[in-house]
Amino acid sequence: MILLKFTAVVLLAVCSEAVTRPGVAPLIELNDGKTIPSLGLGTWLGFTKSGDRVPVNDDSVQKAVELAIDAGYRHIDTAAVYSTEEQVGAAIKKKIEEGAVARGDLFVTSKLWNNNHAKSAVVPALKESLARLGLEYLDLYLIHWPIAQTEHSAYADIDYVETWQGMMDAQAAGLAKSIGVSNFNVTQLDRLISMSKVKPAALQIEVNLNLQQTELLNFCKAQNIAVIGYTPFGSLFHGKAAADAPPPRSDDQALLKIADRHHKTVAQINLRYLIELGVIPIPKSVTKKRIEANIEVFDFQLNQQERDVLKSFDKNYRTIAVTQWKDSPYYPFNK
Ligand SMILES: NC(=O)c1ccc[n+]([C@@H]2O[C@H](COP(=O)([O-])OP(=O)(O)OC[C@H]3O[C@@H](n4cnc5c(N)ncnc54)[C@H](OP(=O)(O)O)[C@@H]3O)[C@@H](O)[C@H]2O)c1
């Protein structure tokens, strides 16, 4: 029995970095014994140029999730604050009814927003997410930010260690199979671990070519915490890059050369590199061709020289800096 489990862990660990079938993201074992697909679909529509959230006023996310499931994705990332939970749920319902997948094949993540950080507010907030998703449980529930706020966006004096007690209640009630955190720094994660009975199974943070997060990745590896990488493309695409964003863009000659060598696109090289760093990327797209291409990254491997080129773009540059929260004692990005 012990040998079987050991073999399974080794297999999963090997699979996550090895070459496997395209369109199928190998599973990685979490520290609580559950498994997570090593690539997922993001469903946040992002910010407008003026910094507001892009309004969700069509069914593009539902269509994207349906296309993703057809393309082989089994891991979908959403959050209460994205206003996309209903569409994610509608797509899942449709695909289950069609017989394309079973609920047990899917890994669905959602996140607790800052206004529900009181211990007693966590389970009710999760139940609201489940109602919007039309699901009975989440595979992963994350504290979205270490910062607590009131309904009116003022800071609330609630320690994330208290919030974590509510997350543990949610897991004990079977409403979330695994629990974790997002946007925590090493100090916050270390403190949470030392003060809690349950260790986070996953940390979701920004990881891309300009922000490779070596310190957090090493910490999580040592603690056996899975790292899910958000905004995996960072500033790769001209349309999304801020004026001060460091290179590369998708027409970078060194990247094009690597892409050519593997008969892949620069976007695929970018995702493959993150996977080889040990990160689970969750690229967002509502475009059929891109959704399909973004998961075709499990049939090739980069060599050391190529990884060195990709490492050279690591400039500690953050795409999602949430500087409006800089004065919070829980702001995670000061270090
Ligand atoms: N925990 C957190 O605080 C947090 C913060 C941010 C994001 N997230 C999660 O992470 C997910 C991904 O991050 P993100 O949405 O910020 O950024 P992203 O996935 O790095 O980039 C999304 C953008 O890239 C475009 N794109 C996708 N694939 C492409 C390809 N192959 N070629 C060219 N363009 C491509 C998309 O366009 P189209 O859609 O038009 O195709 C979209 O404009 C989010 O959706 C969300 O689920 C979490």
**Which ligand 1 atom lies nearest to the CA of residue 142?**
1
Q: What is the number of the ligand 1 atom nearest to the C-alpha of 44?
A: 45
Tokens, residue 22 = 């395209």
Reported as a single tens digit per residue, the pLDDT across 193-236 is 999 999 999 999 999 999 999 999 999 999 999 999 999 999 99
On whether the 23-234+279-285+316-325 domain is CATH 1.20.1290.10, my answer is no
Write down the pLDDT at residue 7: 33
- CA of 8 relative to ligand 1 center, distance in Å: 32
What pLDDT score does 15 carry?
A: 40
Question: What is the per-residue pLDDT for 49?
Answer: 73
Q: Is 47 helix (H, G, I), strand (E, B) or coil?
A: strand
Residue 280: beta bridge partners?
228
Phi, psi of 192 (to 5 degrees): -60, -45
Mutate to test the pocket of ligand 1, among 77, 147, 285 (most ligand atoms within 8 A of CB): 285
SS3 of residue 138 by DSSP:
strand
- Cβ–ligand 1 contact at 42 (below 6 Å): yes
Residues lower than pLDDT 50 in the chain: 1-18
Q: What's the pLDDT score for residue 12?
A: 41
Which positions make up the binding site?
Answer: 144
User: Residues, the chain, total?
Assistant: 335
- pLDDT score for 47: 85
pLDDT at residue 293 in the model: 98
Residue 218 has φ and ψ, to the nearest 5°, of: -65, -40
Per DSSP, the three-state class of 226 is strand
The CA distance from 278 to 272, in Å, is 10
